[in-house]
Structure 1
Amino acid sequence: MTDKAVSTIAELARDFGVTARTIRFYEAEGMISPERQGSQRLYHPRDRVRLKLILRGKRLGFSLAEIREIIDLYDSAPGERGQLDFFLDMIEKRRVDLEQKRRDIDLTLSELAEVERNCRNRLSELAKGREQA
């Protein structure tokens, strides 16, 4: 990624592997706010950090509202400490949710395996019945 003071939308999109449309969406949502020079958007390091946090939050499965809340906490009291405490709470909730989903998936896979075994056994019984007939 480029380490410069100001980036264009094309540079930011390239650096983060997203489309300009994605960046404009986060701008429309008020999550990043580039400087405007005529029709050109200029993104400062703060916008770059915010976009990085947004994309990381999405990868971790947080909703846009949750990501917004995490990011906005940085600019309000108690600042970064409050943001990090809140983020740790969100991480714990996400982890619990994912672990439950993993248990649910494991149970479903187990049930599928049992149903598959029963189907194969029944097919085998039916095939033997045809051989004897």
Structure 2
Amino acid sequence: MAVSLKRVWPAFAIPTLMMLLLQPTLSFGQERVLRVLNYSEYIDGEVLTLFEEETGIRVIYDEYESTEEAWAKLKVGGAGYDVVIMAYTHIKLAIDQGLVRKLDKTRLPNIVNLDPEMSVNPADPMQEYTVPYMWGTTG
């Protein structure tokens, strides 16, 4: 029995990238910092080190173990995060509660390379707040 990828992918596309463009500019000479909230053990620390070396941007990387923990961090101190990766099931709620801002797609030139079939998110159908982080299935 064939399963339509279009029908099942949202159920498996749990992590979705949400950009919180709350501080889009920095004063000259000020340290550039990127604050990220992500599932624990999703990005190797060495990758973050390489990113910092290549870009000169310091990464403050906060991890969480459950969607509930991420939600609590977002509700309490969400204004401090630039990038949040969380379950797509909470995206609509975050949008409705004003916890995230719309993406500035002019700052995301590679967004044109995303496969439209894989970029659909029922919680953000116009992709104003989210871009996919990863996709996969289990089982």
TM-score (norm 2): 0.22
Of Structure 1 and Structure 2, the greater strand share is in 2
Which structure has greater helix proportion? 1
Between structure 1 and structure 2, the one with the greater Rg is 1
Normalising by structure 1, we get a TM-score of 0.22
RCO comparison, higher one (Cα < 8 Å, 6+): 2
